[in-house]
């Protein structure tokens, strides 16, 4: 039973990693992390494109400020879907009972990778949708929802400081 649980988690991890590098969003240049990296570059204001491109809404900072813009919606959806996939696997491990060394070794590997994915996705979201972290201040400005469960009734917005603390907690636990 525990072996089936771990094998199912391995499959979900592989599927999550595959989606992260796929062209699954149906928009040119917008699939997977590679496409989203280009979008973040466009937002950095250091791309001198003088023609209309698929990235024009990003180059002009139209997309991040418009909740209905397809670029913005896909960015948000992409990262929160990766978070959901990580949380599904992490929640499923609550049922793990066996203490065999091989099962626990595989469990720890998958758990670490999923915690890393969850932290990475939240980091990308807060970099785009919240004010910047400023060292030496309280960073009490509004952040994003840091989702650690699949239970949507427990999702609450966090401050920027809280989000970065939760990212660190996930990464520490992943190691």
pLDDT of residue 30: 57
DSSP 111: H
User: Which pLDDT value is given to residue 25?
Assistant: 52
Which residues, 6+ apart, have CB-to-CB distance to 64 below 8 Å? 43, 58, 72, 128, 129
Residue with the larger pLDDT of the pair 38 and 148: 148
Structure tokens at 19: 């989606």
Phi and psi at 55, nearest 5°, equal -95, 5
**What is the Cα–Cα distance from 160 to 143, expressed in whole angstroms?**
4
What is the model's pLDDT at position 118? Answer: 96
Q: Rounded to two decimals, what is the model's pTM?
A: 0.81
pLDDT in tens, 32-68: 777 777 777 777 777 777 777 777 777 777 766 666 7
Is the pLDDT confidence value at 147 over 70?
Answer: yes
Nearest to 111 by CA among 172, 66, 57: 172
Task: In whole angstroms, give the CA distance from residue 166 to residue 148.
Answer: 9
| Matching residue, tokens 């603390």 | 165
| Tokens 């204001």 found at | 45
Is the predicted pLDDT of residue 26 greater than 60, yes or no? Answer: no
Q: Which residues contact 104 (CB under 8 A, 6 or more apart)?
A: 98
Average pLDDT, stretch 79-93? 91
E-state strands within 55-148: 142-145
Residue 37 burial (CB < 10 Å; 0-12/13-18/19+)? exposed
Residue 115 near residue 86 (C-beta atoms within 8 A): yes
pLDDT in tens, 5-14: 888 888 888 8
Query: Are the beta carbons of 45 and 94 closer than 8 angstroms?
Result: no
Look at 17-21, 48-52, 81-85, 89-93 and tell me which has the smallest mean pLDDT.
Answer: 48-52
For position 29, what pLDDT does the model report?
56
Tokens of 77: 């959806």
């Amino acid at each position: 039973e525990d072996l089936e649980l771990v094998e199912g988690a391995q499959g979900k991890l592989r599927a999550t990693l595959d989606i992260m590098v796929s062209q699954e969003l149906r928009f040119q240049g917008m699939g997977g992390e590679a496409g989203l990296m280009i979008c973040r570059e466009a937002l950095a204001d250091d791309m001198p494109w003088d023609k209309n491109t698929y990235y024009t809404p990003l180059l002009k900072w139209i997309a991040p400020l418009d909740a209905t813009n397809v670029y913005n919606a896909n960015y948000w959806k992409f990262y929160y879907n990766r978070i959901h996939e990580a949380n599904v696997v992490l929640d499923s491990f609550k049922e793990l009972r066996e203490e065999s060394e091989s099962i626990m070794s595989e469990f720890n590997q998958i758990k670490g990778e999923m915690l890393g994915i969850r932290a990475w996705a939240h980091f990308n979201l807060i970099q785009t949708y919240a004010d910047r972290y400023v060292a030496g201040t309280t960073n009490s400005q509004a952040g994003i929802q840091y989702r650690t469960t699949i239970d949507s009734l427990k999702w609450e917005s966090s401050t920027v400081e809280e989000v970065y603390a939760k990212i660190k907690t996930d990464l520490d636990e992943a190691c």
